[in-house]
Amino acid sequence: MTNLTPTTEPSVADADEALAATAREEGRKPRAGWRAMLPSMTPSLVIGFGIVAAIVLFGLLGPLFVQDPTTVRNSGLQPPGGGHLLGTTQTGQDVLAQLAFATRGSLEIGLIVGVLATLLSAFFGVLGAYLGGFADEAFSLFSNVMLVIPGLPLVIVISGFVPQEQRGLWTIAVVLAITGWAASARVLRAQTLSLRNRDYVAASRVAGERSWRVIAVEILPNLLPVIASQFVFAVIFAILSEAGLAFLGLGASNSSTLGTMLFYAQNGFALQLKAWWWFVPPGLIIALLGCGLSLINFSIDEIINPKLRNVRAHAKRMRIARKAAAR
Amino acid sequence: MTALTERAVRPVLTVEDLSVVYDVANPVTAVKNVSLTLAPGEILGLAGESGCGKTTLAYAINRLHKPPARIASGSVTFSDADGSDIDLLALSDEKLRAFRWSKLSMVFQGAMNALNPVISIAAQLDDVLRTHRPGMSKAERRARSQDVLQRVGVDPKRLNSFPHELSGGMRQRVMIAMALILEPQVMIMDEPTTALDVVVQRDILREIIRLRDELNFAVIFITHDLPLLLEISDRIAIMLRGEIVELNSGEQIYRNPQHPYTQKLLGSFPSLTGDRGDFIRTGDHALTGDNR
Amino acid sequence: MTSVEVKNLTKEFHIRNGMKRSTLTAVDRVSFDLLPGRTVALVGESGSGKSTIARMLARLEKPTSGSIDVTLDDRTPVHGSVYRRHVQMVFQDPFASLNPFHSIEHHVARPLKIHRRTRGAAETHERVVHMLERVNLSPAEDIAARRPHELSGGQRQRVAIARALAPGAQVLIADEPVSMLDVSIRLGVLNLMARLQREDNLAVLYITHDLATARHFSDEILVLYRGRVVERGPADSVILNPQHDYTKLLAASAPDPERMGKLVRAAGAPDRSGIDNSVSFNHYTGEWTSLDKRPVPVS
């Protein structure tokens, strides 16, 4: 009997019109234009945004207030307290200072990789799919090849080949961007293939729009939520991968990141010496940043698939009704 | 309604004062105090436009509605051929499952796309019988499946086909076969032919009428296509914003429509063979109820 | 005034199924003329090639062979980018043909800007409001600021018509313009198109599967079957006095309340009035057997 379930079965998710009607009656105007693209305020968005904003602020402003992270002191491995809020490393460096600079370094990497990977995926994904024919085949083949190349080993090999003195922040960022864009490009290609066959794209071609305008004005805005979500994902990917690389000793040589902090903590036997204040803070920031960005991504999901929003709105109403009944 | 009292037949389905509310922040009443009776073997047409609540009504009769939809008031009574009355709104979930399909089945809009693409027709028909007729042997089930396919005009040899191997019209026939297989007393058909071409539609309608004559099930036929309903229905209910604004025999609805909305609907379909109405190609505002 | 001459229009699709290649002729040597103030209806079922013809005329598909010649009154041919100023199209699904991201103003303003019909933002806006008023959308200022999801299907289709006429098009291709709309507003949209046609002396190609509106809203009807024109002629004579078996079958299949109770309700022995008995729908194959053997093009 399962196969007799109607495809048109009305469900909460489909109650779009009814919900929109009530929204209008309550005097809330349906949001228009760019504002409809913004996620609605949900607890997950607020929490995610709060976490990320706090970490970003810490990375931006922290370095201005802390001590010099490189100063070596005789007071090694001091627990938190006294002159050092988060204690010191084996060589007596201030952990809080290191943490502030490392957070800034990781965020830089994340941002650079996020932008580069998004640009690459948008170029190969959207352009190929819109043009179709040979360009699509070629771009699609290229992204497939990039997709099957195992990312981290390739990054290790490339990082290993680049001499350590040249292995700066940008080198690592470029390597991570090159290995990280292919999956997004495939998603964008699939989306674009569906969008380019929509009637409104055909209508704009009939109206006489040039190809670049069709892509930039008619197709891209409708891809924005997907691209935003992929950007956030690319940032998470970059920060985690960089941390992994740095932990293996293949990180950027001229800057400190959360990964390099963990690398030095590991080399300094922080775990064995029970110096938790050395490795817990960077680990925690990585975890929190990943968590915060993911929470933001869930909210973006609701824009891509508005049905999720209806389900949530309904759940909320049911909760309120139950509370009212209990009273 | 008059048809019923004249015939003095015990109705097979009685809907009384049924209201369905969408429980959203400002509740929307999708179906308002609808009362219907359905005589055995009768074809009742339900006409209305998108959003008028006709599909919500169909789902509510069979209790297939889901939250936030809620039946606010009214009753649905099914009068079994064996003489017992079943209060559909009071049935337990388990009994309801057994009741659905065996006594009252549905053919949904776009149902032809509801067939499972990776399972053969035979297996899908067999599945229904296995669930509802546990006593049947495998051979009996197969014979029944073949028989029901034959009835809807599909070659029984097609039993082992997969849905994608059949045309849209054929798939819709299979769906009707599936709805018929347990010999229900009522079938609710929600826009069963809307997605099909007119020639195929005509053939399927003929098939439905023929099967109705053979098996004497009653049909609630839901569509926006009033001329089609006029051809096939015994009685027609016109639905507007959740309410039934007119319910009468097809003849009366066509010759002597009472409600302005009925007149407007009738006027929306230019006659194929009739005169070129003055209202056509003369202006925008000519479309009103009285110049049908 | 602009007219269109379509000659022997053919479209073949190449289908690759594994190693097998086959050719599907979606449109087979179709010819017709679109003249100012006149409406030609293309009638057929799904798969008859009628939408492919529309897409070729709108230059969304390239014909395999045959020609589409657009000429002005003084016989000068229309080529290149000017083509789109003269020939415009209204799509079937008003829910898909407007970009959900953009305002109504954007949809109507773009063709004006592309074809340089207006100068400056103020004139463009004024013109957009004027176009919206012409298609009976009021208050036009308010509608212009809205986005597609805030309009009903009928309103959206009016916007689509305004957009098509914005560049000053003289030839309008309407691909099933009302089949997705609620029945009670269909005639309103068709009558609107008829009024605009009278006012602007438009040449209209009306594509539909609905014989009744084809008869009432067009001058000439072409009946398509599997890419070929099987019957053509003045609207009334094709519908009231069909010659070809397929046209008869279509006419007999269309619901018609005038025949209430006569056709389908004749239980037991289905009445096939109007249908040539040599044409039968084969339940087992899902096709008309005898028609398959002899689809006779008349053009």
ipTM value of the model? 0.81
Q: What angle do CA C10, C12, C14 make, to 5 degrees?
A: 170
What percentage of chain C has pLDDT greater than the value 70?
A: 85
- Tell which wins on pLDDT, A320 or C203: C203
What percentage of chain C has pLDDT greater than the value 90?
A: 21
Residue C278 confidence (pLDDT) = 36
Residue pair A220/A130 in contact by the 8 Å Cβ criterion = no
Tens place of pLDDT per residue across chain B (292 aa): 444 444 457 788 888 888 888 877 777 888 888 888 888 888 888 888 887 888 888 888 888 877 777 888 888 888 887 777 888 788 788 888 888 888 888 888 776 677 888 888 888 888 888 888 888 888 888 888 888 888 777 888 888 888 888 777 788 888 888 888 888 888 888 888 777 778 878 887 888 888 888 888 888 999 888 888 888 888 888 988 888 888 888 778 888 888 888 888 888 887 777 765 544 544 433 333 333 3
Residues from A in contact with B at Cβ < 8 Å: 1-12, 15, 17-19, 21-22, 25-26, 314, 317-318, 321
Backbone angles phi, psi at B34, to 5 degrees: -90, 130
Quick one: closest CA in C to A199, which residue? C97
Q: Do A3 and B127 touch (CB under 8 A)?
A: yes
For CA atoms A217, A215, C94, C67, give the dihedral sign: positive
Residue pair C146/C132 in contact by the 8 Å Cβ criterion = no
Residue A311 confidence (pLDDT) = 67
C-alpha span between A10 and A240 (Å, rounded) = 42
CA distance C182 to chain B (A): 6
Q: Count of CB contacts below 8 A, A vs C?
A: 69
| Neighbouring C-beta atoms of residue C22, cutoff 10 Å | 9
User: Quick one: average pLDDT of C281-286?
Assistant: 40
Q: Is C183 on the interface with B (CB under 8 A)?
A: yes
Residue B288 confidence (pLDDT) = 35
Helices (H), A251-275: 258-267
Residue pair A177/A119 in contact by the 8 Å Cβ criterion = no
Model-level pTM?
Answer: 0.78
pLDDT tens for B198-215 read 887 888 788 888 888 888
Q: Taking CB atoms and an 8 Å cutoff, what residues of chain A touch B190?
A: 8
Task: Read off the tokens for A113.
Answer: 């990789």
pLDDT tens for B135-188 read 888 888 888 888 888 877 788 888 888 888 877 778 888 888 888 888 888 888
Residue pair C235/C68 in contact by the 8 Å Cβ criterion = no
Residue A25 pLDDT grade (very low, low, confident, very high; cuts 50, 70, 90) = very low
Residue A15 confidence (pLDDT) = 41
The CATH number of the domain covering residues in B2-103+185-291:
3.40.50.300
Q: Is B231 on the interface with C (CB under 8 A)?
A: yes
Residue B276 confidence (pLDDT) = 58
For CA atoms A187, A188, A190, A191, give the dihedral sign: positive
Q: Taking CB atoms and an 8 Å cutoff, what residues of chain A touch C99?
A: 200, 204, 218, 222
In CATH, what is the architecture of C2-208?
3-Layer(aba) Sandwich (3.40)
Q: What is the three-class DSSP state of B218?
A: strand
Partners of chain B (3+ Cβ pairs below 8 A)? A, C
Angle of helix A258-267 relative to helix A220-247, nearest 10 degrees, comes to 20
Residue A8 confidence (pLDDT) = 37
Residue A310 confidence (pLDDT) = 64
pLDDT tens for C45-102 read 877 888 899 999 998 888 999 989 888 888 888 887 788 888 999 998 888 889 888 8
Which 8-state DSSP code applies to residue B239?
E
User: Quick one: average pLDDT of A20-30?
Assistant: 41
DSSP class per residue in A195-240: HHTSHHHHHHHHHT--HHHIIIIIIHHHHHHHHHHHHHHHHHHHHH
User: Quick one: average pLDDT of C125-143?
Assistant: 89
Segment 159-178 of chain B within 8 Å of chain C by CB: 166-167, 169-170, 173
Instruction: Name the CA radius of gyration of chain C, rounded.
Output: 21
Q: Do A199 and C85 touch (CB under 8 A)?
A: no
The yes-or-no verdict on residue C276 having pLDDT over 60 is: no
Segment 49-88 of chain C within 8 Å of chain B by CB: none
Quick one: closest CA in C to A197, which residue? C96
Cis amide linkage into residue C139, ω under 30° from 0: yes
The CATH number of the domain covering residues in A41-326:
1.10.3720.10
Nearby residues of C91 by Cβ (< 8 Å), 6 or more positions away: A199, A202, A203, C97, C160, C175
Partners of chain A (3+ Cβ pairs below 8 A)? B, C
| Neighbouring C-beta atoms of residue B17, cutoff 10 Å | 11
Q: What is the mean pLDDT of chain A?
A: 77
The yes-or-no verdict on residue A139 having pLDDT over 70 is: yes
C-alpha span between C145 and C129 (Å, rounded) = 10
Q: Taking CB atoms and an 8 Å cutoff, what residues of chain C touch A198?
A: 96
CA distance B81 to chain C (A): 23
Residue B114 confidence (pLDDT) = 78
Q: Taking CB atoms and an 8 Å cutoff, what residues of chain C touch B276?
A: 215-216, 236
Residue C221 pLDDT grade (very low, low, confident, very high; cuts 50, 70, 90) = very high
C-alpha span between B10 and C205 (Å, rounded) = 54
CA distance C70 to chain A (A): 16
Task: Read off the tokens for A214.
Answer: 């069709």
Backbone angles phi, psi at A203, to 5 degrees: -65, -40
